[in-house]
Amino acid sequence: MGTHMTINKGFCFSSHYLLFILVALLMAVGCAQVPITERRGLQLIPESNITSMSLVEYDKILSKSRLSSDEKEVDTVQRVGNKIASAAEDFLRDAGMQEDIKSYQWEFNLIEDDKMVNAWCMPGGKVAVYTGILPYTKDEDGLATVMAHEVGHAIAKHGNERMSQGILAAMGGIVLSVALSNQSSGNRNLYMAAYGAGASLGILLPYSRLHESEADRIGLMVMARAGYDPRAAVPFWERMNNQGKSAQRPPEFLSTHPAPSSRIADIRKYMPDALRYYNPQ
């Protein structure tokens, strides 16, 4: 019995030590700087792979969607999008990341769906705006707020970072499962559930909120440099907040997005920096 326990403890120690070494190694080789905020983000997956996967998913979504036939609205989305993309590339050059620019194949589409209050930008620069969000954007400055925020996610490579964090969380779960192999099934399930909750509440959800806040900050700078008034971001997010009040929001620590009050406070904090870039065109 004593020998068995010694081996088991040694194995547990080795498993956790191995996980520590793997995490340290991955962090060392897989971190990259985010433009504008200069935060170091974990990026373990080759960007070419992320872009390829995104293009497949993008084509899939478009094949199942109806594109808007409103020429005026389509033209507005494409015009604003191109100006936002150009400003984003300027920031990448400023950050010494001009090599990244060739990874983006910008495309902007307006999808006809009045019930979908949403927009997104995939890694690689494929952007979709749904007609359901246009009543909340109201004008080109509001539309630029949304599109710059989504482009901010792309140039910060948040998609890669989220997938990389998922890989690390999965690795940790595998190591823990092996280390608990001699435990009863009840104890093993309890520990694994606690690990899953800890990874979600302690890492994945906070980073999701960080990504949203970071995209807000990047978006402000990008839209301002593109010639759109960043002050339009505050009333836009206030309108979005009012739109969502009918839904029951979870507490911020359980949410993938910052609380509306926190988001608007942060936007106001970064506004002076954004206004330095603002030059109406």
Contact 38, 26 (CB under 8 A): no
Would you kindly state where each structural domain of the chain is located, as residue ranges? 47-161+205-277
CA-CA distance, 254 to 263, in Å (whole number)? 15
pLDDT string in tens for the chain (281-residue length): 443 333 344 434 444 544 554 555 454 445 677 888 878 877 767 777 888 888 888 999 999 999 999 999 999 999 999 999 999 999 999 999 999 899 899 999 999 999 999 899 988 999 999 999 999 999 999 999 999 999 999 998 888 887 766 666 555 545 445 554 565 666 545 544 443 444 343 334 444 678 888 999 999 999 999 999 999 999 999 998 887 554 554 443 334 456 778 889 999 999 999 999 998 76
CATH class of domain segment(s) 47-161+205-277: alpha beta
Give the pLDDT confidence score for residue 141 in this predicted structure: 98
47 part of the active site: no
The pTM (predicted TM-score) of the whole model is: 0.72
> What's the confidence (pLDDT) of residue 163?
75
What CA–CA distances, in Å, run from 22 to 19, 42, 273?
5, 13, 38
3-state secondary structure of 117: coil
User: Quick one: pLDDT at residue 195?
Assistant: 34
Secondary structure letter of residue 35 according to DSSP? T
Q: Which of 150, 161, 212, 214 is catalytic?
A: 150
